Amino acid sequence: MPGPTQALIDELHLKYAGLREGSAATYIPELAKASTEHFGIVVAGVDGSLIAAGDTEVLFSLQSTSKPLTYGLVLEDFGREFVLSKVGVEPTGEAFNSIVELEKHTHRPYNPMINSGAIAVSSLIRGASAEARLQRVLGLFEGYAGRPLAYDKKIFESEKNTAHRNRSIAHLLRHFSVIGDDIDDSLDLYFQQCSILANTRDLALIAATLAGGGINPRTGKRAVQEKYVGDILSLMFTCGMYDSSGEWAYSVGIPAKSGVSGAIFGVVPGKLGIAVFSPPIDEKGHSLRGMAVFKELSQRLNLSIFRHL
Ligand code: GLU
């Protein structure tokens, strides 16, 4: 596999900066304020090397790119069997916020990458109080990114005050006893994790940590047990891009997760973490520049996990 070079990343940045489709997410009012010009690409090696182009220091909220990480945390807290009894591992082919998200007989959410599954995961996070649970989540993200991250209160409030759909999903989860009575606390923690601020470099290091089996390549510290990295990556691969996951597996071929703030991160196991941030998204919630960069990068560097056999 040829390695990524600064010249290649600069070339892709220049090429796709000209892509002018899509617009920033508006259903969370605070996200609508994002600049459609912002565009950053960072490729991080498992050896700690970094190649960056564009607005890589601009902060954005992680939104759904946070979901694979909290899933890993509850796997560590409770083990596979228990977590599987609460949240399934099947792709839905439905949108991220679909309310037709519970399996017919078990009433589990289909998977932890869609909102119903992620809210169920947040409800499981251990801690003596809401504040203790939040601190655990922030500590988790610090482990992956290699520096402390904070959540944005304005984005949190903005989502909380308008989250009628996620609230209805949470009540459905309560109805089927997937979550307990602490519906508001579970939702708050979910909105807080979604509003954690990071930049493209942080997100690439999060990706590289997963690529390296759970160890942050810069700090050398473990963020998640190695035995759960495969669980996280397989779910990112089958469900991380929502109802574009099949198309993504076919054309890009690496586990990835997108967020409606315009972030996408992808993991080339054993080799690279890749992050792209640019707010204009398509109707499925994926950054248009992000998808274009991933597609071309995958083809030029032969990154698909099925192509280096
Ligand atoms: N906080 C967002 C929501 O629950 C995340 C969606 C996304 O990034 O896909 O609607």
pLDDT tens for 125-168 read 999 999 999 999 999 999 999 999 999 999 999 999 999 999 99
Q: Which residue has the tokens 């960069």?
A: 293
Q: Encode pLDDT of 224-266 as tens digits.
A: 999 999 999 999 999 999 889 999 999 999 999 999 999 999 9
Calculate how far, in angstroms, residue 191's C-alpha sits from the geometric centre of ligand 1: 8
Average pLDDT score over residue span 50-69 = 98
Per-residue pLDDT at 188 = 98
**Under a CB-based contact definition with an 8 Å cutoff, are residues 119 and 166 in contact?**
yes
- At the fourth CATH level, the homologous superfamily of domain 6-61+199-301 is DD-peptidase/beta-lactamase superfamily (3.40.710.10)
Distance from the Cα of residue 286 to its chain's centroid:
11
Note the pTM of the prediction, 2 decimals. 0.97
Please answer whether residues 219 and 287 qualify as being in contact, where contact means their C-beta atoms are separated by less than 8 angstroms.
no
Instruction: Say what the pLDDT of residue 259 is.
Output: 97
- Predicted local confidence at residue 101, as pLDDT: 61
77-113 pLDDT tens trace? 999 999 999 999 999 877 777 776 688 888 999 999 9
User: What is the Cα–Cα distance from 97 to 83, expressed in whole angstroms?
Assistant: 21
> What is the band of 117 on the pLDDT scale with cuts at 50, 70, 90?
very high
Distance (Å, whole) CA 305 – CA 69: 21
The yes-or-no answer on residue 151 being catalytic is no
| Residue 225, number of CB atoms within 10 A of its CB | 12
- 194 CA → ligand 1 middle, Å: 7
Measured over the CA atoms of residue 103, residue 79, residue 274 and residue 145, the dihedral's sign is: positive
Which of 28, 31, 192 to mutate to test ligand 1, by most ligand atoms within 8 A of the CB atom? 28
Catalytic (active site) residue 122: no
Domain with CATH 3.40.710.10 in the chain: 6-61+199-301, 64-194
For residue range 17-34, list pLDDT tens digits in order.
999 999 999 999 999 999
How much is the average pLDDT of 276-298? Answer: 97
Return the amino acid letter for 63: Q
- Single out the residue of 164, 183, 169, 32 nearest to residue 92, CA to CA: 169
> Which residues does 11 contact at the CB level (< 8 Å), separation at least 6?
none
HEC-encoded secondary structure of the chain: CCCCCHHHHHHHHHHHHCCCCCECCCCCHHHHHCCCCCCEEEEEECCCCEEEEECCCCCEECHHHHHHHHHHHHHHHHCHHHHHHHCCCCCCCCCCCCCCCECCCCCCECCCCCHHHHHHHHHHCCCCCHHHHHHHHHHHHHHHHCCCCCECHHHHHHHHCCCHHHHHHHHHHHHCCCCCCCHHHHHHHHHHHHCEEECHHHHHHHHHHHHCCCECCCCCCECCCHHHHHHHHHHHHHHCCHHHHHHHHHHCCCCEEEECCCEEEEEECCCEEEEEECCCECCCCCEHHHHHHHHHHHHHHCCCCCCCC
Instruction: Give the position, in ligand 1's atom list, of the atom nearest the Cα of 195.
Output: 1
93 contacts 111 by C-beta, under 8 angstroms: no
CA of 259 to the centre of ligand 1 (A): 6
Q: Which CATH architecture has domain 64-194?
A: 3-Layer(aba) Sandwich (3.40)
Does residue 308 register a pLDDT over 70?
no
pLDDT at position 309: 60
Q: Is 64 a catalytic residue?
A: yes
Pick the catalytic residue from 61, 64, 66, 298: 64
Q: How far is the CA of 261 from the centre of ligand 1 (A)?
A: 8
Which pLDDT value is given to residue 216?
A: 98
- Provide the pLDDT confidence category of residue 210 given band limits of 50, 70 and 90: very high
Q: Which atom of ligand 1 is nearest to the CA of 191?
A: 1
